[in-house]
Structure 1
Amino acid sequence: MKRLTAAERGHGRRVPVLFLAAETLSLLGNSIAGIALPWLVLVRTEDAAAAGTVAAASGLPMLVAAVAGGVVIDRVGRRRISIGADLASAACVAALPVVDAVFGLNLGWFIVLGIAGAVFDIPGMTARETLLPDVATSAGMSLERLSGLRQAFTGAALIVGPALGALVLTWLEGSTALWVTAATSATAALLTAALPANLGTSTVAEKQHWAKDLRFAASVLRREPVLIMLTALSTASLLVMAPIQMLLLPAHFVQTGGSAGQLGPVIMASALGMIGGNLVYSAIGTRLSRRTWLSVSVLGSIGAIAWLTALPAYWWVVAASAVLGVVSGPMQPLMLVLTSERVPEQARGRVFGVQNAVMLSASPVGAFAGGWLITGLGVHGTGTLITVVWAALALGALLLPGARQLESQNEEVPVDADDR
Structure 2
Amino acid sequence: MLALPYFVLVTTDSPMKTGLVALFEMLPLVLLKVLGGPIIDRVGPRRVSISCDLGSMVVVGAIPLLYAAGLLPFGVFLALVACAGALRGPGDAAKSSIVPSVVEAAEVPMERATGLHATVERSATLLGAVFAGGLIALIGAANALVVDAVSFGVSAAILGWATTSLRRPAADETEAGADPTPYLAQLRQGWDFLRGDRVLVAIALMVALTNLLDVAYASVLVPVWAREWGGGPAVMGVLFGVFGGTAALGAICAATWAAGLPRYKTYLIAFLVCGSPRFFVLAWDNPLWLVLLVAAVSGFGSGFINPMLGAVIYERIPKHLVGRVSSLTAALCFALMPLGGLLGGGLVSGFGLTVAMLACGAAYFLVTMLPAADPKWREMDHRPAVSPSREDAEPAPVTG
Contact 2:115-2:255 at 8 Å conserved across structures: yes
* Change in 2 beyond 3 A, CA 1:368/1:392: farther
Residue 156 in structure 1 maps to residue 132 in structure 2: no
Contact 1:86-1:185 at 8 Å conserved across structures: yes
Q: Which residue of 1 aligns with 2:335?
A: 361
Q: Which residue of 1 aligns with 2:83?
A: 116
Give CA-to-partner distance per residue, 1:295-347, whole Å, 9 cap, x none: 12323422554655554954444333322222231110222222222212221
Residue 185 in structure 1 maps to residue 181 in structure 2: no
Residue 221 in structure 1 maps to residue 178 in structure 2: no
Show the 5 A alignment for 1:113-152: 113-152=80-119
Contact 2:52-2:88 at 8 Å conserved across structures: yes
* Change in 2 beyond 3 A, CA 1:259/1:149: same
Give CA-to-partner distance per residue, 1:42-65, whole Å, 9 cap, x none: 67x656465554443233212211
Q: Which stretch of structure 1 is more off in the superposition, 297-306 or 131-140?
A: 297-306
* Letter aligned with residue 213 of structure 1: Q
* Letter aligned with residue 118 of structure 1: G
* Change in 2 beyond 3 A, CA 1:114/1:283: same
Give CA-to-partner distance per residue, 1:279-306, whole Å, 9 cap, x none: 00112233x14xx133123234225546
How far apart are the structure 2 equivalents of 1:383 and 1:56?
Answer: 18
* Change in 2 beyond 3 A, CA 1:254/1:125: closer
Give CA-to-partner distance per residue, 1:336-382, whole Å, 9 cap, x none: 22222221222111112112221212345466566559839946863
* Change in 2 beyond 3 A, CA 1:258/1:305: same
Q: Which residue of 2 aligns with 1:297?
A: 267
CA offset at residue 106 of structure 1? 3.2
* Change in 2 beyond 3 A, CA 1:112/1:226: same
Contact 1:235-1:362 at 8 Å conserved across structures: yes
Q: Which stretch of structure 1 is more off in the superposition, 375-384 or 61-70?
A: 375-384
Contact 1:50-1:107 at 8 Å conserved across structures: no
Show the 5 A alignment for 1:252-263: none
- Structure 1 residue runs of 5 or longer lacking an equivalent are 1-30, 416-420
How far apart are the structure 2 equivalents of 1:403 and 1:285?
Answer: 13
Give CA-to-partner distance per residue, 1:82-137, whole Å, 9 cap, x none: 11111111122334455567783333432232222221112111111110111222
Q: Which residue of 1 aligns with 2:164?
A: 196
Q: Could you state the TM-score of these two structures normalised by the residue count of structure 2?
A: 0.77
Contact 1:130-1:348 at 8 Å conserved across structures: yes
Contact 1:130-1:340 at 8 Å conserved across structures: no
* Change in 2 beyond 3 A, CA 1:215/1:52: same
Show the 5 A alignment for 1:309-348: 311=281, 314=287, 315-348=289-322
Q: Which residue of 2 aligns with 1:28?
A: none
* Change in 2 beyond 3 A, CA 1:326/1:293: farther
Question: Aligned with 2:295: secondary structure?
Answer: helix
CA offset at residue 274 of structure 1? 1.3
* Change in 2 beyond 3 A, CA 1:263/1:113: closer
* Change in 2 beyond 3 A, CA 1:414/1:386: closer
Q: Which stretch of structure 1 is more off in the superposition, 306-315 or 221-230?
A: 306-315
Q: Could you state the TM-score of these two structures normalised by the residue count of structure 1?
A: 0.74
State the percentage of identical aligned residues.
Answer: 23
Question: Aligned with 1:104: secondary structure?
Answer: coil
- Structure 2 residue runs of 5 or longer lacking an equivalent are none
Question: Aligned with 2:167: secondary structure?
Answer: coil
Q: Which residue of 2 aligns with 1:400?
A: 377
Give CA-to-partner distance per residue, 1:157-208, whole Å, 9 cap, x none: 2232244335555776886654433332122212222222553676745254
* Change in 2 beyond 3 A, CA 1:398/1:387: farther
* Letter aligned with residue 395 of structure 1: A
Q: 1:271 aligns with which of 244, 265, 273?
A: 244
Contact 1:86-1:124 at 8 Å conserved across structures: yes
Show the 5 A alignment for 1:56-75: 56-75=23-42
Contact 2:28-2:86 at 8 Å conserved across structures: yes
* Letter aligned with residue 285 of structure 1: A
How far apart are the structure 1 equivalents of 2:301 and 2:194?
Answer: 27
Q: Which stretch of structure 1 is more off in the superposition, 372-381 or 117-126?
A: 372-381
Q: Which residue of 1 aligns with 2:326?
A: 352
How far apart are the structure 1 equivalents of 2:239 and 2:67?
Answer: 36
Contact 2:23-2:339 at 8 Å conserved across structures: no
How far apart are the structure 1 equivalents of 2:201 and 2:86?
Answer: 26
CA offset at residue 391 of structure 1? 5.2
* Change in 2 beyond 3 A, CA 1:138/1:196: farther
* Letter aligned with residue 366 of structure 2: V
Q: Which residue of 1 aligns with 2:74?
A: 107
Q: Which stretch of structure 1 is more off in the superposition, 388-397 or 304-313?
A: 304-313
